[in-house]
Amino acid sequence: MLHQITIDDLHEMVDALTTALDAKNSYMCGHSERVAMLSLLLANTMGLSPAEQTRIHIGAHLHDIGKIGIPDVILNKQGKLTDDEFNIIRQHPAIGDNIVGKLKLFHSVADIVRHHHERFDGKGYPDGLRGHDISLGARIVAVADAFDAMTSARAYRTAFTLSQAIAEAQRCQGTQFDPDIVAILVDLSTKNKLISSGGGEIRSLVATA
């Protein structure tokens, strides 16, 4: 007889899925975990309920799961993507939504998986949502995702410093990002709650409460 699924069981399933994703791309290794950590810190600082914090944390872990369906030759390309390749990459939120939609346990995080690349000005993808039509969880993960991407090295650029990443987030508030969430990110940085630390070729983001 199957036992009742606990939150620990849920996290084990999430870890298994994200480990499979990390195995596809060296630059992705640890990304989902760091995005989940920062998303949880943002949600906690905003005073969201424990249940909503948990939902956002799990959704952040799974936000890029659709990249499992993207060809390795594109994910692992050493250099900038062509327009055609980028259009293929842009399919990953919808692919991820389809994946989590197969499991009832993950239905509650489908909005985060599908909409973490929507923009506050409506110019994002896949659905072109804008402002508060984008769920709060997806808006939080969008900031955390971009911030970790900026503070991680890529084949075509070095990692941003913490101050550079904060400045870029501020530049994009109201267009790419929810300005209220960027303000919280800036406040956390001012209070030294965000630490950009080197680690091999990849610069990691570590969020500490």
Sequence-separated (6 or more) residues with CB below 8 Å from residue 50: none
- Distance CA(77)–CA(31), nearest Å, equals 17
67 is catalytic: yes
Check 24, 67, 123, 193 and give the catalytic one: 67
Taken in order 97, 71, 149, 15, the sign of the CA dihedral is positive
Lookup result for tokens 């050493």: 78
> What b-and-e string marks burial along 173-200, b requiring 16 or more CB atoms within 10 Å of the CB?
beebbbeebbebbbebbeeebbebeeee
Which residues are known catalytic residues?
67
